[in-house]
Structure 1
Amino acid sequence: MLEYIYQITGLLLIIFSLQSFADKENKKRIGTGLFWLIYGLSFCLGSFIPDWLTGLMVLALTLIAAAGLFGIGSYKESNSQFKAEQAAMFKNKLFIPALIVPAGTILWSQLTDISALVGLGLSSMLSLAIAISITKCSPTQSMHEGRRLLDTIGWAAILAQFLAALGYVFGQAGVGETVSQLVQIIIPENNLLIYVMAYTFGMALFTIVMGNAFAAFAVITTGIGIPLLVVAEGGDPTIIGVLGMLSGYCGTLMTPMAANYNIVPAVLLELKNKNQIISTQLLPGLAMLIINTVLMYMLAF
C-alpha cells in the first residue's frame, strides 16, 4: 500500500510540474517545472529504476536549486476580500480538514500494523475531499493552491527527505564508530562529565550540520551514547536517549538546514530577515542544551 501512496504523490507532483510549464507569468517556469517533474518521477519510478539513475536525478534537483531556477508564478488565487468573507462564513469549520490528517494518521497507526505513512496519505486524501466539500471549491483550485505552497517553500520542501538519506549514508559508512574512536582518543578515560558534554553537544552540532536530529541520533548515539555512556559508564539508556534526542532538537533551533522549522515559516510569514526565527531561538536553544547536559549528568548515572 505504501508504494501506491508514493505513486499518488508522484502523480500530484507531475501535475504541479505541468502547471508550472504552462504558467507564462512565471519567468522561471522551465526550471520550476523540471524540478517538480524530476521529483515526481522519483516517487513514481523509484522502485523500478536503478540506483545510479536515482542519484543522477538527485544531482539534477541540486543543480536546479543551486542555479536559482525557481520562480513564483500565477496560481489563480482569490482576492483578499473574498478570502476574508469566506473565513468569516466558515469560521472554525476550516480547521476540520487540518485536524483530520494527524488524527487519521494516529488512528491508523493504532488500529493497523501497516506503515503510518499509508495512514498519512489516506488521511490527507480524506482531508482534501472534506475541504472541497466544505468550501465548494473545485479540485482544480486545490491543485493550484498546492502548487503555490510548494513554489513558495521551494527546494526546502524536500530538504528533510534529503537529510534523512544523508543520515542513513553516514550510518552505513561507519561515521558513528569513527566518532567514538576520536572521542576516546581526545578525552581522558573515566571523565564522565566530558563524555556527557561530548554526547549532548555532539548531538546539537551534528543536527546543526545535518538539519535532522533523527539522523544525528543514529550517528552520535552509536558513537558516543551507547559505547561510552551506557556500556562503559553504566548510564540509564532511557534517560540518555530522551535527553540526547532533546539535545539534538536544541540544534534544530539554531540551523537553517532545518528548513521546515526555521526557513519555511519565515518565507510563509514574509519576514524581511529570513534568519529571524533562528536568531530568536539561538539563546533559548543554548540554555536548553546546557540544562539537558546537567540533567543527564545528574539523573542518568
Structure 2
Amino acid sequence: MITLDVVYVVGGLFFAASAVLSAVDRENSRRWKNTLFWGLLAMSFLFGSRLGDLGNGALVISLVLLAGVRGLGQGRPATTTPEERRASAERRGDLLFVPALIIPTTALLGALVLKRVEIRGAHLLDPKQATLISLALGVVLALVVSVAWLRPPPLAPLQEGRRLLDIVGWAAILPQLLAALGVVFAAAGVGDVVGELAGSALPSGDRLAAVAAYTVGMAMFTVIMGNAFAAFPVMTAAVGLPLIVRRLGGDPAIMSAIGMLSGFCGTLMTPMAANFNIVPAALLGLPDRDGVIKVQLPTALLLLIGNTLLMYLLAFRR
C-alpha cells in the first residue's frame, strides 16, 4: 500500500537535490546558507519521524534563524534562458497546459477511484490520505510526461525547481509552518477559549449567527495566521463542532468544506499569506507591495458573504 510516507520521501529527495545544486552554484554569494536551509528541510521530510519532538523543534528553529538573518540568496541555475522558454512556449502553444492538467486530474481520479482499488486484499493507496498521495503521484506523472515530451537536459527539472525555490525563498515553506501553528494553537486550548466566548455571546439556537461566527472567524483567524489550514483546527474546535454540529445538528462535511473556503477568503486579504500576496507582487515588480491584496479585497468579502449564506442554507438540510 502506498502511504503518505512515500510523498515525504519524494519531497525530501527534491529538497536534498536542491541543497546539493545550491552548494555547487558559485554565482550565489549565500550558497552555503541555501544549502543548509534546504538540506535541513530535506532532513525534516526524510527523517522527521525519527528525530523526535526535540530534534524537530531544533530543526525548525534553525530554519527560522537561517531565513531571518539576511535571508537566503539567489543563484543562477544552469537551465534555459527566458528567451529559450518563450520560444518553446510559442512553438508548443496551449499544449503546454497538458502536464499542468495531469496533476488535478490524477488527484481527482485518486480521490474518487484509486482509493477503492485493492490488490490481493490490500488497498493500493492509503484511503485516509488518498487525495494527498494522488496529488503527489500527479506531480510525478506530469514530470515524466514533460521530460518525455520536451526532452530537456537531465538536470533541467531539478534546476528549474531550484530556480523557483531561490525566487520564492523561505516563503515556500510558510504554509507548512502555519499549518503546524494551527495544530499548536488547538493543542494549547485556544479553540476552547474562543468556543466559550462564542457560546456565551451568540443567541441560543440562532443558526445564522453560529454560521456567521464560524465563517467570519475562519476568515479573521486566517488574516492573523496567514493560512486557512492554521485557522481550521482552532475555529472548528471552537465554533464548528460544538455549536454548528452538536448543538444545531449541522452536517460536518458541508460545514468543513465551506468553512475552509471561508478561510481562503481571509487568505486573499492578508500580507501574512506572503507566498500568495507578497511574493507575486515582488516577482512581478509591482510598485505597491499590497497591490494584490487591494485588488482581491472586494472579491474576498463577496465570497465570504456567499459562503456564509451557502452554509446556512445547506448545512442544516438533513
TM-score normalised by length of structure 1:
0.88
The answer to whether the 8 A contact 1:207-1:251 is kept is: yes
Q: Distance in 2 between matches of 1:18 and 1:9?
A: 14
Aligned with 1:59 (options 58, 61, 78): 61
Post-superposition offset of 1:61: 0.6
Q: Is structure 2 residue 149 aligned with structure 1 residue 147? A: no
The answer to whether the 8 A contact 1:153-1:267 is kept is: no
Counterpart for residue 199 of structure 1: 214
Counterpart for residue 156 of structure 1: 171
Matching residue's letter, 2:42: G
Counterpart for residue 300 of structure 2: 285
The answer to whether the 8 A contact 2:202-2:210 is kept is: no
Post-superposition offset of 1:196: 4.3
Post-superposition offset of 1:130: 1.7
Counterpart for residue 22 of structure 1: 24
- Per-residue CA deviations over 1:267-288 (Å, capped at 9, x if unaligned) read 4433333322112112332333
Q: How does 1:264-279 map to 2 (within 5 A)?
A: 264-279=279-294
Aligned with 2:73 (options 71, 74, 84): 71
Counterpart for residue 119 of structure 1: 134
Q: Is structure 2 residue 48 aligned with structure 1 residue 33? A: no
Q: Distance in 1 between matches of 2:88 and 2:307?
A: 46
Post-superposition offset of 1:251: 0.9
Structure 1: 4+ residue segments shifted above 6 A: 298-301
Counterpart for residue 109 of structure 2: 107
| CA 263–100 in structure 1, closer or farther in 2 if over 3 Å, else same | same
Post-superposition offset of 1:42: 0.8
The answer to whether the 8 A contact 1:250-1:285 is kept is: yes
Deviates more, 1:35-44 or 1:78-87: 78-87
Aligned with 1:130 (options 137, 145, 148): 145
Matching residue's letter, 1:250: C
| CA 246–8 in structure 1, closer or farther in 2 if over 3 Å, else same | closer
Q: Distance in 2 between matches of 1:238 and 1:18?
A: 43
Q: How does 1:187-226 map to 2 (within 5 A)?
A: 187=201, 189-190=203-204, 192=206, 194-226=209-241
- Per-residue CA deviations over 1:29-62 (Å, capped at 9, x if unaligned) read 1211111010011111112222210111111111
Q: Distance in 2 between matches of 1:296 and 1:83?
A: 45
Post-superposition offset of 1:71: 1.2
The alignment-based identity, stated in percent, is 44
Unaligned runs of 5+ in 2: 116-124
Matching residue's letter, 2:153: S
SS in 2 for 1:139: coil
Q: Distance in 2 between matches of 1:44 and 1:214?
A: 23
SS in 1 for 2:165: helix
Q: Is structure 2 residue 256 aligned with structure 1 residue 256? A: no
Matching residue's letter, 1:62: V
SS in 1 for 2:49: coil
Counterpart for residue 177 of structure 1: 192
The answer to whether the 8 A contact 2:111-2:131 is kept is: yes
Post-superposition offset of 1:10: 1.1
Q: Distance in 1 between matches of 2:309 and 2:7?
A: 44
Post-superposition offset of 1:225: 2.8
Q: Distance in 2 between matches of 1:8 and 1:244?
A: 30
Q: CA RMSD in A?
A: 2.6
